[in-house]
Amino acid sequence: MSASYPTSPVSAADDPGRTLGIVGLVLAFVTSLPGLIVSIIAHRKSKAAGFNNVIAKVGIVVGAIFTGFGLILATVGVVGVVALGQKCAELGPGVHQSGGTTITCS
């Protein structure tokens, strides 16, 4: 005779990527790229276990958007620093007025 054991229904708490998804979402707001990476890992873990991890998906979207904004801001900053360096190379050291803007070159 074989014993039958009651099976419990699978709940969202059984999702192996749930906690990691929450961590990824929080990180996406604080440090976007690590949050994006953690959210992707959480999404993959959940998907492999057959769960739909909405929190991880939101973390992916937020992380991607914030990472994109960060890349745009970094690009604008680098372009600005290069332009300032070129202007200072033209003008030489000192304080200069150019187009209503004060430029200090050392």
The C-alpha angle with vertex 51 and arms to 58 and 57, in degrees rounded to 5, equals 10
* Token output for 33: 């790229």
Examine residue 2 and state whether it is found in any structural domain, yes or no. Answer: no
Could you give the CA distance from residue 89 to residue 39 in angstroms, rounded to a whole number? 45
Examine residue 4 and state whether it is found in any structural domain, yes or no. Answer: no
- Given this model, what pLDDT does residue 106 score? 85
* Beta pairing, strands 101-105 & 94-98: antiparallel
Q: In which band, very low, low, confident or very high, does the pLDDT at 22 lie, cut at 50, 70 and 90? A: very high
Residue 89, domain extent: 15-105
Number of domains in the chain: 1
pLDDT in tens, 48-100: 999 999 999 999 999 999 999 999 999 999 999 999 999 999 989 999 988 88
- Given this model, what pLDDT does residue 5 score? 55
- Given this model, what pLDDT does residue 12 score? 55
